[in-house]
Amino acid sequence: MIDGRLILRNNFEANFNKYPEVISFGEDVGKIGGVNQSMEGMQEQFGEIRVSDTGIRECTIIGQGIGLAMRGLRPIAEIQYLDYLLYAIQIMSDDLATVQYRTKGGQKAPLIISTRGHRLEGVWHSGSPMGMIINAVRGMYVCVPRNMTKAAGFYNTL
């Protein structure tokens, strides 16, 4: 048995070593390695440019990810919890999900948005907007792994 976050951290480490264009950023990703520490130690190992913290503006995080992806990088944008995707849904549905269609295949934005389900704690973690997310982001893949090994496989495939 191994802690699930270690499976993801080890997988991210392998991907960062193999693909120099992979970067990760978001709420608490850099210094503490994410709210569940799946990026623990990655900033020290790969530097502040490849693993960094952002402000808590979900729209900005997704917008940065779109721009970075369209310039050839392979960003992983971290949003702390699934519930907070509500604040970025307009950018995801209007911009990210449609960029390839709107440009007749001329542009793509291969952005991974990483988040996790709520822990049923506090007023902001009491519900799940999953149905709304699935219906709002046509043109994007929404992956929900059943365990961390499957999650690592999703990251590798995407």
Residues carrying an active site annotation: 125
**Whole-number Å distance between alpha carbons of 60 and 139:** 20
Beta strands at 22-26 and 112-114: parallel, antiparallel or unpaired? unpaired
Cα gap 4→130, rounded to integer Å: 22
Residue whose entry in the numeric block shows the structure tokens 């994410």: 34
Give the chain's count of helices (H) and strands (E).
Answer: 7, 4
Cα dist from 38 to 4, 85, 93, 102, 140, whole Å: 8, 19, 27, 34, 23
H/E stretch holding 44: helix 42-46
